[in-house]
Structure formats: C-alpha cells, structure tokens
Amino acid sequence: MESVDRGTHACGSRRHAWTRRGVLQSLLGMSAWGAGAAASSRLVRAAQTQRKQVLFVWLDGAMSQFESWDPKPGTRFGGPFRDIATRVPGVRLSELMPRMAERMDRFSIVRSLHTRYEDHSKGVIPIQQGDPKNRGVAYPLFGSAVARLYAADNDPLPPYIHIKPGSGGFMYQDGGFLGAKYGALALGDGKAPANLIGPPSEATSETSSSGPSSGSSSAAASGSPLGASRVAMRDAIRQQLDDRYASRRDPELAAAYRHTYQVARQMARHAELFAPERLQARDIERYGSSEFGRHLLQARQLIEAGVAFVKVTMFHWDTHGDNFNCHQDGVPQVDTALAALIDDLVDRGLYERTLVVVMSEFGRTPKINARVGRDHWPECWSMGVGGGGIRPGVVVGRTNELGTFNQHEEYDVGHLFHTFFRALGIDPATTEYDNDGQPLPIAHDDCGPIKELLA
C-alpha cells in the first residue's frame, strides 16, 4: 500500500508535547470534587444570547469508517457488508446503520479527516483537546472548555459529566490549565458518585458556602429533627475547616473548594438522574437494551436537565482481529441508540441547541490483516456531527474508490474544533484562554471552520 508522510499535519503544525498540571491537583484528586482548581487560569467568555449544550460520543479505540460512515462494498478493501441508501440522495451508509440512514437528513458526516496520531496513547488526549499548537501547556479537553464557557455558579448540576463503562470518579486531568474545577465527573456504569445520598435518617438541609442558609432546612423522608440538627452541626464543622484552609491558601483556590462542595450538595437534589435502575423499560428498548444504549439514554436525561456537556464513552473498537464480527455487534448498538437520541432531542425541542458529536481518535486501515482485522489509520477517516449550529444532511469530503486516501481537501481535528465552537456561537478568532496571563487560542490558530457544516 502506498505510504504517506505521517509527519504532515493538515494545519501545518508540528507535533507537540502534552503535559499535565502538576502535583497539587493530583494530591487533591477527587477530594471535594477537584478542590485544587488552578485559580489563576481563566477563560474569556464569549457573549452568548442562548446557552447551547454538547453531547459528545467517544468511540474509544476507533470505529471503522468502512463498516459505518464510508462503506466501499465490492472493492478490494470493502469487507463483507453492503451499503444502503439514505434519506439524502446519493449518500450511502453501511447496511449496519439502517436507522441512521433514515435520519441522514438530520445528521452530517465528515469523510475526509487526516490526523497525525497512529496510536491510542498519543492520540486520545490531543484529539479531544483539538490538537492545539505546541504551547508547552496542558490544554483542556473539549468538555472542560465548554464547561468553562457556559458554566454558571448557580447551575444545579455539574457542567461536565462523563458516562463510561467501569469505574467512575472525578477526572480532574481533563481540565488541563483551566484547573480541576472544570474536570469531568465520571459516572462509572452510569451510577451516582459514592455517598452522594446520606442515610435516610438524616436531613438534606440547604446550605451555602458560608454555612447553613437563612431558609428552612428540610428533613429526609423520615423527617427526623435529630437528622436535621446533625447535618447543621456537620456543616458548621466543615465551615470552620474551610475557613482554616482558606487562611493559608490562595482565596480563589479556597473558593473553588467551597464551590465544588456546593455542587455536590445540589446534585443530591437530582439523584434520580444518576440512577440507571430508574430508566424506563420502553426507553431502554428504543435505545437498544445495550450498555451503550442505556448510557446514551441517561445522557439524554442529563441534557434535558441542563448539563452543558455530556460525554458518553464506548470501548472495544480496537479491532486488530475479528473486525467484522466486532463491528456487526457494535455498529448496530451505535445506530439504534443514536437514532433514538436524535428522535428524542427533536421531539423535545432540544436538537437545535444541542451539538451532537460522534468520533474516535482515528480510523481503521483499508488493508485487512492476517487476523481478519483492521489496524490504525489516521490518514483517512470519518466522523458524524449534527444538531445545534450544524447544517443537516451534509457530507463533507470524499475518499477515493478504495477508501485508502482522501480526495481534494482534507481536514484535521483543528478544523473540527473551529467548527464545533462556531456551531456553539463562539468565535475562536476573538475568544481566548487566559492561562495566568498567557493568552492562548481556544482552537488551532492555523486552522479554520469547515464552512459546509455550519448552519
């Protein structure tokens, strides 16, 4: 197969190092939801007339474009699956995606991505950061950037929630130089954080960062006055410890600590959103009865509740072996759940203000290896996007007959991030990060938006 220069980057930048924000954040970790926010890192807010939201689907390991968005049936590398017509004339998808084929007039595809990273360890983080120029700093992931842009101090829920298989916790590293405050609250298997709800004999009194509020406190289901008094006592002790902590540290750092405690208290009032067992059976069936389907259904509920950025991760896409059986199982799960999600967002009037992104860290090789698998292929791959700010029914870019390389103009992840921010109403040309006095672009400044995608 023809080789390419893997050092070439569509934006003209060179490879950069990604560094993490140091020891303090790692020590604080999950404690009080990332209390160690980097206080001096700020983001200049863009003027917003309407708050938009993002639902970001991350197919970790890389779904094959041949078995999904850009099929090549009957060709040397096409594989065993056919293609099918869609609602958009001339646009065809893999037969593994019949439901999305019926909704292509509401969704769009980029088929001409060319990125730099050919292994997961180097690609996963930079791709979700927008692969910025080498600045020698740890950029925030997309979810953290959106959280900083849109989050308000009085939001009832955390601005960035990550639903993933396996364990949960607070992923403070996602915040990069913005600080741990803008990291992701990860719901392992969609479950609530540990100890979110206290014992039923205790109260859930309303508190503020300065102690109990002037309003009345409410007891739990048992209505125990003893429970209410114990909560008030604990809150007073916490306030004393907070004051001691603040007296020895940067005031903004202490304020971040208090803020994250308040967010946790606010979350407790919406505990039903973090209880997978409370999902409706009929909705689970529509979303496909798979783990991914349940997670995407829960993500829809969080979007409805007003969370600024919801990320859903699905694993097991690294198909170096048995690629076709794996995709025959996995792609229909994505197809079913994504179609149901789009229908629900449209029905609820949320689709026009919710940016829906479906992507991986790269694509998979045209060549089928000796283990009947496809390997990593950043030179030529696809992703899907729709919803708020995106023109529906658009296919950007084209690959050659065999699907080995892009034809005409190709795009890098930097172009995607310019497009995402524009779709959210944010102009990367006029909006900057402020990293302790150092201005930094929010998207790769050698790239621009994919104009065909923007509504």
pLDDT, tens digit (0-9, with 9 covering 90-100), for 259-273: 667 667 777 778 778
Residue 199 lies in a domain: no
For residues 410 and 398, what is the distance between their CA atoms, to the nearest angstrom? 9
For residues 445 and 358, what is the distance between their CA atoms, to the nearest angstrom? 23
CATH code of residue 444: 3.40.720
Query: Which residues, 6 or more positions from 158, have their beta carbon under 8 angstroms from its beta carbon?
Result: 33, 147, 185, 263, 267, 307
**Domains held by the chain: number:** 1
Model confidence band, residue 24 (pLDDT cutoffs 50, 70, 90): very low
Closest of 142, 170, 167 to residue 158, by C-alpha? 170
H helices present in 94-213, as ranges: 98-101, 120-129, 142-150
260-296 residues labelled b (16+ CB within 10 A) or e (exposed): bbebbbebeebeebbebeebeeebbebbbebbbbbbb
Whole-number CA gyration radius for the chain: 23
In single-letter form, the type of residue at position 450 comes to I
Residue 117 lies in a domain: yes
With H, G, I as helix, E, B as strand and everything else as coil, classify residue 322. Answer: coil
Model confidence band, residue 193 (pLDDT cutoffs 50, 70, 90): confident
Residue 15 lies in a domain: no
Closest of 147, 110, 116 to residue 132, by C-alpha? 116
Question: What phi-psi label fits residue 32: left (phi over 0), alpha (psi between -120 and 50 degrees) or beta?
Answer: left
- According to the model, what pLDDT value does residue 195 have? 72
Task: Look up the domain containing 300 and give its range.
Answer: 23-191+275-453
- Output the six-digit token pair for 439: 């201005």
Residue 97 lies in a domain: yes
> Cβ(142)–Cβ(125) under 8 Å?
no
- Going by their DSSP bridges, the two strands 395-396 and 107-113 should be labelled as parallel
Residue 250 lies in a domain: no
Model confidence band, residue 249 (pLDDT cutoffs 50, 70, 90): confident
- According to the model, what pLDDT value does residue 29 have? 35
pLDDT, tens digit (0-9, with 9 covering 90-100), for 42-94: 344 333 335 899 999 999 999 999 999 999 999 999 999 999 999 999 999 99
Residue 150 lies in a domain: yes
Residue 113 lies in a domain: yes
Residue 94 lies in a domain: yes
